[in-house]
Amino acid sequence: MPENAASAAERLQAVLTTLRTTMDTQISTAPSVREEHSHGEAMNAACLPEAVVFAESTDDVSAVLRACHAQRVPVVAFGAGTSVEGHVVPPEHAISLDLSRMTDILAVNAEDLDCRVQAGLTRQSLNAQIRDTGLFFPVDPGGEATLGGMCATRASGTAAVRYGTMKENVLGLTVVLATGEIIQTGGRVRKSSTGYDLTSLFIGSEGTLGIITEVQLKLHGRPETLSAAVCQFENLHDAVQTAMEIIQCGIPINRVELMDPVQMQASIQFSKLEGYRPLTTLFFEFAGAPGAVQEQVSATEALVEANNGLGFAWAESAEDRSRLWKARHDAFWAAKALDPQARVISTDCIVPISRLGTLIDGVYEDIKASGLRVPLLGHVGDGNFHTLIITEDTPEGHAQAWELDKKIVARALALEGSCSGEHGVGMGKLDFLETEHGAGALSVMRALKNTIDPHHILNPGKLLPTGTVYQG
């Protein structure tokens, strides 16, 4: 074993020895547990952590980071493991710090429309537990992501067109720094003009500056009425134009989602859908008082008709809404069913909505040249879209998918977009950060990292390109 590796292994054992004095039952070195914490849902190579520590409180996280900082042992936070850009993959000789046991709702302030929760709680669980208050938390990235992970990646999702992203819906945080110091950012008020905005700094930092353990969230009133609608288009540009005009006209739409013909064909086959054709399709959701919802639906239908939309249908009952949206809800599994033995790699990018049609035209050229089958869907209301790249689950297949992804991102950046609208950078988008932000901005990011985490123990190798990778 190389000398530096032996040294790293010895330092890690020193950390575990320290932690076992107070947290022995919360530490696992079982192969199955380590394997579960070696990867997320990305195509990045997995790496086993040396141990997994299950934190149950902010003080537990502080104790782990204090010990790791003293020995310079890397730590990677782990929530639900749903990352698609490699955020939770540990480096060698690392500890995976699992926050999934931290699921308490610490306070609900119904009159002020806010709550405080531990970072391991999921959005679904929060909403189920506060349902009787008439409130809910709207940011919906899909899946069972934890709220701490959603903060760390600055997640958004289908409802962002109305409610915004995590950035707009978090009031404050409890964060543990690399040294083990516990800090509070923000608070409960809706605005403050004092000091640096540390809450925004940590949201989207991907666990590289500190580990989020508690979150103060904005809540929203549950809408009185929900309605759903769907329509199809022969021409993708007509669909994008419709979505753009809905936003420009100020229609307070809850969600507007796009699925392309390849995805629709997959969904028709998988979900046994009737009444649909394999065409570009828009899915809508409206919310509010009954009269207001009816006005939204009517205004949207008029725009659909003006842009050559076909078969506008809408529904109010929960059963009928679910039926209309079934294709969108089942999209990933429908794509997977196109080739059950293949790997489906989900990636995203975003452009100004007026350039989305141009981007997708170029992406179709790249897909055709690649020979891969790639369904496309997106949160068309803000210009964010996902490609579901279907490829062989082999190193060669992953390399082919990565080459296609690079071409798609290059097109997005050339159209003044971003390499990721909601998945984050992780390991998968490192190569694009300097092109997007510039060398000067990157040097400021590195200065922040070097100051807040001088030993680079926090999620090394993520978010920032070469220059901040843990060396053991």
My answer on whether 214 and 241 are in the same domain is: no
For the chain, what is the radius of gyration of the CA atoms?
A: 23
My answer on whether 314 and 349 are in the same domain is: no
Residue 472 resides in a domain = no
Cβ count within 10 A of residue 45:
12
My answer on whether 229 and 214 are in the same domain is: no
**Two structure tokens written together for 37:** 């914490």
Q: What does the pLDDT average to over 423-441?
A: 95
Q: What does the pLDDT average to over 56-81?
A: 98
User: Nearest to residue 251, comparing CAs of 293, 304, 312, 280?
Assistant: 293
Residue 445 resides in a domain = no
With vertex at residue 356, the alpha carbon angle to CA 351 and CA 359, rounded to the nearest 5 degrees, is 90
Q: Tokens 């040097």 appear where?
A: 443
d(CA 98, CA 96): 6
d(CA 464, CA 446): 7
Lowest mean pLDDT among 2-11, 305-314, 429-438, 457-466: 2-11
Residue 439 resides in a domain = no
Is 275 in a helix, a strand, or coil? coil
Q: What does the pLDDT average to over 120-142?
A: 96
Residue 468 resides in a domain = no
My answer on whether 324 and 373 are in the same domain is: no
Domain termination residue (choose one: 193, 221, 249): 221
My answer on whether 64 and 79 are in the same domain is: yes
Cβ count within 10 A of residue 168:
12
Residue 352 resides in a domain = yes
Q: Tokens 């979150």 appear where?
A: 215
Residue 443 resides in a domain = no
Express each pLDDT in 369-396 by its tens digit.
Answer: 999 999 999 999 999 999 999 999 899 9
Q: What does the pLDDT average to over 181-195?
A: 96
| Tally of domains within the chain | 4
Outline where 347-465 has alpha helix (H): 356-370, 395-414, 433-437, 439-452
pLDDT at 310: 97
Lowest mean pLDDT among 78-92, 275-289, 454-468: 454-468
Q: Tokens 């506060």 appear where?
A: 130
pTM value?
0.94
Is 195 in a helix, a strand, or coil? coil
Q: What does the pLDDT average to over 265-282?
A: 95
My answer on whether 109 and 213 are in the same domain is: yes
My answer on whether 346 and 323 are in the same domain is: no
- CB contact at 8 A, 464 and 442: yes
My answer on whether 113 and 215 are in the same domain is: yes
My answer on whether 316 and 408 are in the same domain is: no
CATH number of the domain bearing residue 361 = 3.30.70.2740
Range of the domain at 297: 225-332
Domain termination residue (choose one: 204, 221, 238): 221
pLDDT at 405: 95
pLDDT at 247: 95
User: Nearest to residue 57, comparing CAs of 103, 94, 19?
Assistant: 103
Residue 213 resides in a domain = yes
Is pLDDT of 42 > 80?
no
Residue 403 resides in a domain = yes
My answer on whether 68 and 133 are in the same domain is: no
Domain termination residue (choose one: 160, 192, 221): 221
My answer on whether 110 and 210 are in the same domain is: yes
Average pLDDT, the chain: 94
Express each pLDDT in 327-343 by its tens digit.
Answer: 998 999 999 999 999 99
